[in-house]
Each structure stands twice: as C-alpha cells, then as structure tokens.
C-alpha cells in the first residue's frame, strides 16, 4: 500500500477552505479519501465587489489563515497542494499585491483562476461517472461572487460558462437585470429539449438547504421543496436564522440569495430536482494534483 497526501485551498468570496486528502494506492487501485477540512469565514467579496479593492486589514487576516494552513499541511505531511482564488480575487485590482504578500509571509503560492478553470476543476471530480449516463445534468456551483454552470450529457460536457451572479453580489445589489437575462437566455438555450434534467449543486449553501430539507423529512430537493424552503427562510430575520435554524453567521445572510439563484435556474431549465453530493472545486484540485504527481 502507498499512502499519499494532497491539499487544496479554495479562496472564495465568502470563506476560505483547506481540504486534505489521503490517496491510497494498492493492488485494488486508487482510492481518494477526504481526511480533514478546515473553513475560515473571511469574506473577501464584501470589499472586492464594492470597491474592487481588498483592504490591508483583510489581507492580514488572509495571511494569518495561510500561515495556519501552511503549518497544518506540514503537520499532515502533504506532498503537494494548490491554492486557487476565485471571483473576489479576480475582481480585486490589488490581487497581485495580495498574492505577493501572502507568498512572502506564508510561503503559500496563490493562483487567481478564471470561471472556466473553476468549471474544469469540477469536471476532474469524475462525479458524473457514478450517475446515470443516459440523462443530462446541469452542474451549478453558486459562490459569493459568481455562478458556474456546466451542462453534461452522457458524462460529456456540452457547454460551460460563468456568470457574475453570486450571493454577496446580490446582497450588495451588484447584479444587473441584464446579467440575470444573460443567465436566463443561456440556461433556456442549452437546456431545451433536455428531458428529465437534473441539477447537481455545489457549495455550502446547497448543502445547508439539503440539510434543512432532510430535517423536514423531504428526500429530494424538488422545485416545490426549494420554493417552500426559500419562502420560510426569507420570512425569518438574520438573527432568527442563526438562533432558530442553527446557521453560521456568515451563512445566515447569503442563504436567501443562494436559494433564489437555484430556484431561477430550476425554473428556466425545467429541472426536476437538485442533488447535493458535497463535492466541489477543491475535490477536483486534489485529483488534478494526483494526476500531475503520477506524470512526474
């Protein structure tokens, strides 16, 4: 048996995550096991989407998080990692200054990736190989700054795009009607004639919504279940979502716009149900790192 450890750092708009995987090689093949996951509620999107600039105070928080992640990876004896920053860092005009400061103070090299690269990492998870190959799936990753959409049929990606529609942008009223119309047009055009379409959701918000549906003994996130959840959550105040529903403070505000995004895409695509397999960009990064390691 050969045991390898890889790590992925996902620097999002609402939070920063570190996941560590054990990759086991033995006579039976290769198994990917998620061993540890850490989440830090640093919201880069608040400043980036409002001012296109991330303040020094927030940069210091990011540096501290990266120093901690570097030490955790060292303790776990990680042999390779990748740190990828998405929408908030893409929009920040001082992103290269941040990348430089983080590298100097923590040793962590950050890559600011495009929306298409985010979608590409999702494909690396091979999630769709375990699903029915004769039906289409629309993959949705809803973040604080953007939503990535990839349409798959027979495990092959047919179309992929990214829209600047995210939970934090919506909270800040930074999404125009034109952008909504662009997403609507894309979804309707790409998903027409796709019978029994199913949505695969990614991110902390869909996981939270799935958990809430489960607590109500709802086995699937159908459109009606999502609509009921959305209406119930929207009625509550921010404080009530924390105290009565047990949400984290940095989840309690973004959950409403997240549900709105999912509902709109369900409506436009005529999707029957959303599944939340709890996989995302970080999982794809791990698989890509392993592929690169084997090539070397």
Half-sphere exposure at residue 188, Cβ-oriented, CA atoms within 13 angstroms = 9
**288 by DSSP, 3-state: which?**
helix
Query: Cβ of 44: how many Cβ atoms within 10 Å?
Result: 31
**156 by DSSP, 3-state: which?**
strand
User: What pLDDT score was predicted for residue 238?
Assistant: 96
User: What pLDDT score was predicted for residue 132?
Assistant: 52
User: What pLDDT score was predicted for residue 276?
Assistant: 84
User: What pLDDT score was predicted for residue 125?
Assistant: 65
Euclidean distance between CA atoms 52 and 46, whole angstroms:
10
Euclidean distance between CA atoms 152 and 158, whole angstroms:
6
Residues in the chain predicted with pLDDT less than 50, given as ranges, are: none
CB 112 within 8 A of CB 78: no
- Tell whether the torsion through CA atoms of 127, 219, 188 and 116 is positive or negative: negative
Pairing of strands 156-163, 198-202: unpaired
The order of strands in the sheet holding 221-222 is 156-163, 147-153, 136-142, 198-202, 273-275, 221-222
User: What pLDDT score was predicted for residue 130?
Assistant: 53
User: What pLDDT score was predicted for residue 16?
Assistant: 96
User: What pLDDT score was predicted for residue 4?
Assistant: 95
**266 by DSSP, 3-state: which?**
helix
Q: What is the pLDDT of residues 146-190, one digit of tens each?
A: 999 989 887 778 898 999 999 999 999 999 999 999 999 999 999
Class of 130-275 per CATH? alpha beta
What is the Rg, in whole angstroms, of the alpha carbon atoms belonging to the chain?
A: 19
- Residue 146: which H helix or E strand, with range? none
User: What pLDDT score was predicted for residue 135?
Assistant: 76
| CATH topology match: 2-115+282-295 vs 130-275 | yes
User: What pLDDT score was predicted for residue 74?
Assistant: 97
Which of 125, 122, 128 minimizes the C-alpha distance to 146?
Answer: 122
Q: How far is CA 188 from the centre of its chain?
A: 23
Beta strands in 116-174, from DSSP E residues, in sequence order: 136-142, 147-153, 156-163
The correct CATH number of 2-115+282-295 out of 3.40.30.10, 3.40.50.2300, 3.30.420.40, 3.30.450.20 is: 3.30.420.40
The pTM score is 0.87
Query: Cβ of 74: how many Cβ atoms within 10 Å?
Result: 10
Euclidean distance between CA atoms 168 and 143, whole angstroms:
8
In the chain, what are the domain boundaries? 2-115+282-295, 130-275
């Amino acid at each position: 048996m050969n045991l390898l450890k890889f790590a992925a750092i996902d620097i999002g708009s609402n939070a920063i995550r570190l996941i560590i995987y054990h990759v086991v090689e033995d006579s039976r093949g290769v198994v990917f096991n998620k061993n540890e996951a850490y989440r830090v509620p640093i919201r880069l999107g608040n400043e980036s989407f409002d001012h296109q600039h991330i303040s020094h105070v927030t940069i210091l928080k990011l540096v501290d998080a990266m120093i901690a992640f570097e030490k955790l990876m060292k303790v776990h004896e990680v042999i390779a990692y990748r740190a990828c920053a998405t929408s908030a860092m893409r929009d920040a005009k001082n992103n290269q200054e941040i990348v430089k400061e983080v590298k100097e103070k923590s040793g962590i090299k950050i890559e600011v990736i495009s929306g298409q690269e985010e979608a590409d990492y999702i494909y690396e998870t091979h999630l769709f190989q375990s699903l029915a190959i004769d039906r289409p799936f629309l993959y949705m990753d809803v973040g604080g700054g953007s939503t990535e959409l990839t349409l798959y049929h027979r495990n092959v990606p047919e179309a992929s795009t990214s829209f600047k529609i995210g939970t934090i942008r919506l909270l800040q009223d930074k999404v125009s009607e034109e952008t909504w119309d662009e997403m609507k047009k894309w979804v309707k055009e790409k998903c027409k004639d796709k019978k029994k379409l199913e949505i695969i959701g990614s991110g902390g918000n869909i996981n939270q919504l799935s958990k809430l549906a489960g607590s109500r003994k709802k086995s699937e996130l159908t459109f009606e279940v999502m609509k009921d959840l959305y209406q119930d959550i929207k009625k509550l105040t921010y404080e009530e979502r924390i105290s009565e529903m047990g949400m984290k403070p940095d989840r309690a505000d973004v959950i409403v716009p997240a549900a709105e995004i999912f509902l709109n895409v369900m409506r436009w695509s005529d999707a029957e149900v959303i599944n939340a397999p709890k996989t995302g960009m970080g999982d794809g990064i791990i698989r890509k790192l392993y592929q690169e390691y084997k090539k070397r």
